[in-house]
Structure 1
């Protein structure tokens, strides 16, 4: 039996070394200071975003609703959802969030180190203020725009992350 013919002929692996890529400090400031972001994979067509995010002590994100699933790995530090203070997530924890989850992420102000995480998010976060009013939505497209704007404003090189190609026709129009 012959091997299948690969649909895409990758000559090289699509691989990133997070130790060699910049981490964009305070990427979400002024709205949410203390959040450092390292984009790894952003696909606005399918709505998947893969990020390394480092949260400093005392960060609280807005209450948000997930339109899709989330896989969240905690590499170091500690965090919890305001709604679940008895279930802190610490180094080595893996959390699966089904689509439709709603919660408020926070890192305790007395953390002795930043909280380093790796997340795979499908869909969007729909953000609300403390009174439950809609604020905004964050998805792969928003993250791409945020990183592009941040690198321009700070005079940095464009960010390197993996992004699938744009949709196109199989043959001419």
Structure 2
């Protein structure tokens, strides 16, 4: 077997270290995210997230799949209270699933982990009214808006395209 004729040369590896930059705090819900890879064109987003005790996110419907690896703390979906996710848990969610993320109020630490999501989260309020749709593009716009509002630098993340690279630098 020969080396492929078409080779995508990289001047450097595309790598992001969560310990080298500050996460972005959601202005109303209080959780922290660090984008690692945002691809609005193909609908893929990879985040490292920290959810403090008492976090309750809106119920949401997934249009695509989710892979979530928990690295710290405990969390569960309201619909599955017995299925606690703890450090070391890997969760796969098929497209079409619907649930509500929760970190117990009495938790002693934040729940943390890495998620790889394709598609979007369609978010609903308690009365089943549409709140919004969260996808890679919405996350990118929200992060830039929060960073601008806080007068801080936006985090560096991998942004693919015809010539894949970083969001800056």
TM range (shorter): over 0.9
- For 2:87, which of 77, 84, 91 is the aligned residue? 91
Structure 1: gaps of 5 or more residues: 168-173
1:7 and 1:44 map into 2 onto residues whose CA distance is 24
- The 3-state SS of whatever aligns with 1:141 is helix
Checking the alignment, whether the CA contact within 8 Å between 2:23 and 2:155 is kept in structure 1 is no
Aligned residue number for residue 48 of structure 1: 44
2:105 and 2:73 map into 1 onto residues whose CA distance is 12
Structure 1 residues 88-121: Cα deviation after superposition (integer angstroms, max 9, x where no partner) = 0000000000000000000000000011110000
Q: Does 1:126 align with 2:122?
A: yes
Aligned residue number for residue 164 of structure 1: 160
- For 1:153, which of 146, 149, 156 is the aligned residue? 149
Aligned residue number for residue 3 of structure 1: 3
- For 2:98, which of 86, 93, 102 is the aligned residue? 102
Q: How many matched pairs?
A: 163
2:162 and 2:143 map into 1 onto residues whose CA distance is 19
Q: CA deviation at 1:6?
A: 4.4
1:4 and 1:97 map into 2 onto residues whose CA distance is 35
Structure 2: gaps of 5 or more residues: 164-169
Aligned residue number for residue 69 of structure 1: 65
- For 1:144, which of 140, 144, 150 is the aligned residue? 140
Q: CA deviation at 1:48?
A: 0.3
Q: Does 1:17 align with 2:11?
A: no
Q: Which runs of 4+ in 1 moved over 2 A?
A: none
Structure 1 residues 110-160: Cα deviation after superposition (integer angstroms, max 9, x where no partner) = 000011110000000000111111111000000000110111111111321
2:145 and 2:4 map into 1 onto residues whose CA distance is 42
Aligned residue number for residue 75 of structure 2: 79
Distance verdict in 2 for CA 1:166–1:136, change over 3 Å: farther
